Amino acid sequence: MLPTDAQRAFQETARRFAEEEIAPRAAGWETGEGVPEAFLRQMGALGFFGMLIPEAFGGVGLDFVTYALATEEIAAADCGLCNLVNVSNSPVAAALRDHGTDAQRTRWLGALASGETRGCFLLTEAAAGSDAAAIVCTATRKGGRYVLNGTKQFVTAGQSAQLALVIARAPGTRGKEGISAFLVPTDARGYRVVRLEDKLGHRNCDTAQIALEDLEVSDDHRLGSEGAGYKIALAYLNGGRIGVAAQSVGVARAALDAALAYARERETFGKPILEHQAVAFKLAEMATQTSAARALTLQAAALEDAGRPALAEASMAKQFASRAAEFVASEAIQIFGGYGYLRDYPVEKYYRDARVLRIYEGTNEIQQMVIARQLSRGWSPR
């Protein structure tokens, strides 16, 4: 599919901002104190935290194809920062948009759209990663309130966000039953950052372990009906997988661009290494995988916009694009040679940022299971 002029226009806005404002600062943020709060507010003012929020609530109200294109541009400049932007848009803002009461939308969507409030998603636990129904974090009824207890792992923006979408279950329930979703301000008593993870990549996005310790919220903090939490959580994993695919395309494209520029300038045996077939063929395969990943991603995004089932397509896009990102980044290092292994050059960062893309929002092994299940149910690529 070919994006429309309107979709390309927002993509170009994202590209200019990413190239001019994010890319020159990303490496410095990694070795310094991270992305400044003022910069995140600036991104909010430009609409990047409100991409999936309706205009009526101060957002941009983008379709999913445009969202994927903008995600690609931000990820090409810094994938960690892009992940922070994505998680606030979806699942947090998107779930609130679709399942929130009028009062909840009025209270939080405007602040999320502006970036004044940013979201994080508390689903994963030590023994509940790919198997979301295995969570043990509890939400115990206490009069007109709920008391939340448990520990969540690998929470993107768990420290820096102001609003947490928490998935917890009623005591004594098992499997998919009894799971509810809650909107929890991160300054609530009982919300505690246990530790910040020291990661290989995505260093411009905090990842935290969060403890919920007798954290009380009123009924009006529950998102959706009681027991609907599992369905809510899984509904936005599909869109999240398309988002990760778009991130992957951005990383792959950035690595390809860097490798191509270097291959044009670096000379061996009296000519640019681009003119050596061994290097040229590497670049050809890198370009092919990047383009194929983008095509799968935009196809899945278009199906999402059309309201059509896209389970297989989203999983295909996520697992193919994430593998492509790692492959292209690795080949970029190879083309740079020893220089590619140094922090002085950008491709080592692309490789570090690419590796986790095969893991979060459902491992690639889970994506293969989803695709196989859809095939068994009659899906085919027609």
d(CA 247, CA 356) in angstroms, rounded, equals 11
Q: Tens digits of per-residue pLDDT, 41-67?
A: 999 999 999 999 999 999 999 999 999
- Which entry of 30, 33, 361, 365 is annotated as an active-site residue? 361
382 — pLDDT class (breaks 50, 70, 90): confident
Give the bridge partners for 222, in sequence order: 182
Q: Which of 80-89, 214-223, 230-239 has the lowest mean pLDDT?
A: 230-239
CA pair distance 340, 333, nearest whole angstrom: 4
pTM value?
A: 0.97
Fold annotation for 120-226 = Butyryl-CoA Dehydrogenase, subunit A; domain 2 (2.40.110)
Q: Which superfamily, per CATH, for 5-117?
A: Acyl-CoA dehydrogenase/oxidase, N-terminal domain (1.10.540.10)
Per-residue pLDDT tens over the stretch 319-374 = 999 999 999 999 999 999 999 999 999 999 999 999 999 999 999 999 999 999 99
Average pLDDT over the chain, rounded to an integer = 97
As a whole-number percent, the residues of the chain with pLDDT over 90 amount to: 97
116 a catalytic residue: no
Burial of residue 8 (number of CB atoms within 10 Å: 0-12, 13-18, 19+): middle
Give 241's pLDDT tier (boundaries 50, 70, 90): very high
Is the confidence at residue 209, as pLDDT, over 80? yes
Per-residue pLDDT band at 129 (split at 50, 70, 90): confident
CATH of domain 231-376: 1.20.140.10
Residue in the structure block whose two tokens are 């989203």: 314
Q: What average pLDDT score do residues 7-29 get? A: 98
Q: How confident is the model at residue 1 (pLDDT cuts 50, 70, 90)?
A: confident
298 neighbors 1 (Cβ within 8 angstroms):
yes
Q: Which tens digits make up the pLDDT trace of 269-327?
A: 999 999 999 999 999 999 999 999 999 999 999 999 999 989 999 999 999 999 999 99
Domain spans, the chain: 5-117, 120-226, 231-376
Q: Is the pLDDT of residue 191 over 90?
A: yes
